[in-house]
Structure 1
Amino acid sequence: MMTKYGSRLFDQVFVRSGPIRWLVVGGTLLIAAIAVGAVLMAQNFRERALRNSGRELENTVLMLAHHFDQQLQDFAVIQKDFVDHVRTIGIASAEDYRKRLSGQDIHRLLRSKIEALPYMGGVNVIDAEGNLINSSTAWPAPKANVADRAYFRTFRYAPDAPDVLIEPVHSRISGAWTILIVRKIVGPNGEFMGMVGRGIEPANFEKFFESVVLGEGATISMLHRDGTLLARYPHSGELMGRNFRNGPFSQQRVFGLDHFAGRFVSPVDGEDRLIASHALPHFPILMMATTTRAAALTDWREQIGILISVAASSALAIAGVLIAIVRKLLEQHRLSRERLTLEKQRLDRAVNNMTQGLLLFDAEQRLVVCNQRYIEMYGLSPEVVKPGSSFHDIIAHRSATGSFTGDVDGYVARVLGDIHARNSMVVDTADGRSIHILNEPLADGG
């Protein structure tokens, strides 16, 4: 009869080497593949989100650069026309410049020129001493002097200064921040006679920046190529006029390139940001747009939530199916084991109730089955005659107990010599009994 230990061992063998093990291994590998696939997809989606956000920033600054380059060219035409007018009327000295350009006729001329774009700021005429001598916005011109301004000193004392300078300043007329574009005016011999300037309030640019939707956490800035902040959305009065070219090399190199796209830690808020910049073709101005990495990954986080839900649902579904299959197999195994146990019990009962003694050996001459009748016939010990005992050991035990007389080795050799043929013999026991023995060979060599 199958013992409790034997039943448990049979269960373990079934689980470890049977279909359940392969189901569990296959299911585990499938769930692992889903997890790995989800991770790889998440990483791919993340990089794609960052690339898309970076591309959006690049397109934005490209559009802004072309837009404001054209706008500033239109804006600067008035100054260029005024310089041409000064040359046309033959002004040749600083004194002549001061006298002929300070009249009301020049005020009306300037006023007529800005009527097309009045919101872009007035035109101011400055002499060689830095005095405001005429303006499109007021007559007579208010008293003001800009001799201490950096752009004026550059024009007056630097012979190789460019014709046009751009600088953010606090207006001494309006008191507000103004982006000043000034063009120098020189005489026939190259002497500095003065300059004509026009200011634009940053708010005009910032209103346009606001209309360009880039999402939460994004910024759009206009900077001079020397690093000076000219305009920014969201507006920050503390940052206006601040120079950002004095940071680390990675920050400085942005201002030396016509276009740039990458990532860096913002010097303003310390956030990890994506950045794109593009220079205006005809002005020393750089358009820059940034967004935080967290904002760039907002849609990605939503996608990841869906991806995790799908992956988890798939894994749970697979696990559920596996559990159901394993339970079904275990149930079938339990029923099969019970049937086997019942059949074993029936076989044991039938074998033990036989009037004949029965021994069954395998091909290695090891005992497989021995009924109780055989042990009783020869008065043997069940501790010796048990499954696994060799044929030689059993005959030797019979000899030791007196139920066999003769040469043990010779008898064993004779029986094994005829193992492949059906034969029978009659032996006499020590107590005077005669026993008929029938040897029946099996197909597997037992």
Structure 2
Amino acid sequence: TAFVKPRSTLQEHTIGRHHQATNGDMLLLLRTFLGEQRASQLLEFFAASERGMKITEAMREDVAKREFIDFVERSLSGVLGAATARSLVEAALRDRRLHLEEVVHFFDDTTQALQTQQSILFSSLENLAQGISVVDAELRLVAWNKRYLDLFEYPEGMVKPGQPIATLIRYNAERGECGPGEIDELVAKRLNYMQMGSPHRFIRRRGDGRVIEMVGNPLPNGGF
């Protein structure tokens, strides 16, 4: 396991107000900072996690709903950091298209580099035989590969950008994936390793006889 949030204060301060930001504005942010391919993947996850709330090109000019705005902010924060993601989304909600495009162009060189890094990251993850997940310094899920999903068989919609890793750890602990013991203690133990930036390794035998080795390695700028 390599290591992405509680709901930010953005909603309380901004989304409650009247705004005219559209789905197209939100799509512009996703595609600019994460790339076309990753944005498409995220939209599929959004549709699955929000009970079929699918965002299509025909809906570009519709006013963005709170759920989609929240999702976009979480997705961006995994790459840009929470403060930058919040500022970009606030710009879209406050100033609409003219100022938003100015902000996007201002970050143009940075976004090109980010897209390249994201593309390399996700391609690399999918080519690995092991199940891999990446978590940021705030212990929120940033990235994962298909093998990771196949291995742990999480419920549909549980694995998504910005999901607190504690939620996934608890789910695994409740199914016996973390060994014997009190659920809260098992979860706290693993979160403590991550918060301290401590490498860790667990080996577990599943009920079906398979043996799983779980390894956590800290990243240079926080996270695992």
Which is richer in helix?
2
Which is richer in strand?
1
Higher relative contact order (CA 8 A, sep 6+): 2
Point out the structure with max Rg over C-alpha.
1
